[in-house]
Amino acid sequence: MKLPLYFISDVHFQMTNSNQEKLRRKKMYSLFKKIQNTGGTLIIGGDFFDFWYDYGYYIVPEYSDVFDELDKLNQSGINIHYVAGNHDYWDFGFFKKKFNAKFYKNDFKFKINGKSILVTHGDGVLARDKYYRVLKTFLRSRINIFLFKLLPAKLGCSLAKIVSQTDKHFDKKEYVNTEIIDELKIWSKPKLKNEYDTILIGHYHQNGIEKIDNKNLIFMGDWVTQFKVTEFDGQQWHQYTWKK
């Protein structure tokens, strides 16, 4: 895996061409340009798209430029690793075909420079998520995936727009929930003690790097309003807000 590693999560690109969406994409594409120029590896922590279902025959037209930019990264030699989120779990090979992404239905675990790293989207981790965990199992069952695919693609996308709650985050530039952070610290502590040197987690739109017994718990933030990038140069971890 080529260094540096760039991590982004919870981008939630939407099926719209609004001015707000155009601005968010412009900022992302300028980050892609930096990655192209410096080299390295891009790791996506889930929910890059607000909704994605791989119909095999239909591509949301509002996403075409995003896929083109990801393919430019791939063509420039940047490896892309993509962890499924709760909004974009349903890919069945398109990401691999279009921009050569390695797609992980569950967590992404790897070692680099002697360090063991876990990248997880994190949905369903909290105790309060018990009902969501049942729903998650239901939505990801083979039979329901099959049944959803029977819907006309445009209808499926329209339904996704209705149920998405991403818009509620657009006015929260620094969304801090200490209750969530504290519970995720408890969840991560045994994993950091026994398995990993660093855990990166998304989904909850928290950001920052927490030290736990000289290990790292990293909240990857989002690209809804925070524009957070986490970078690992092989020795040090850095997190910053992308301004361009």
What one-character-per-residue DSSP string does 67-123 give?
HHHHHHHHHTT-EEEEE--SSS-B-SSHHHHHH--EEESS-EEEEETTEEEEEE--T
Classify residue 135: in a domain, yes or no: yes
At 118-174, the pLDDT tens digits run 999 999 898 888 888 887 888 788 888 888 887 887 787 777 776 766 666 666 666
Take residue 229 and report the two structure tokens written for it. 């990038």
Classify residue 81: in a domain, yes or no: yes
| 8-17, 51-60, 82-91: segment of lowest average pLDDT | 51-60
- Percent of the chain scored above 90 by pLDDT? 74
Q: What is the pLDDT of residue 168?
A: 61
Q: What is the pLDDT of residue 128?
A: 85
Classify residue 116: in a domain, yes or no: no
| Residue 233 pLDDT class (50, 70, 90 cuts) | very high
Q: What is the pLDDT of residue 136?
A: 82
Classify residue 19: in a domain, yes or no: yes
Question: Which whole-number Å values give the CA distances from 23 to 16, 57, 200, 201, 227, in the listed order?
Answer: 12, 29, 26, 25, 11
pTM confidence score = 0.93
Read off the pLDDT of each residue in 27-34 and give the average, rounded to a whole number: 98
Which DSSP string do the residues of 11-24 spell out, in sequence order?
--B-S---HHHHHH
- Percent of the chain scored above 70 by pLDDT? 95
Classify residue 139: in a domain, yes or no: yes
Range of the domain at 13: 5-104+127-174+220-241
Classify residue 62: in a domain, yes or no: yes
Secondary structure class of 55 (helix, strand, coil):
coil
At 5-15, the pLDDT tens digits run 999 999 999 99
Classify residue 185: in a domain, yes or no: no
Domain count across the chain? 1
Mean pLDDT (the chain, rounded): 92
Classify residue 31: in a domain, yes or no: yes
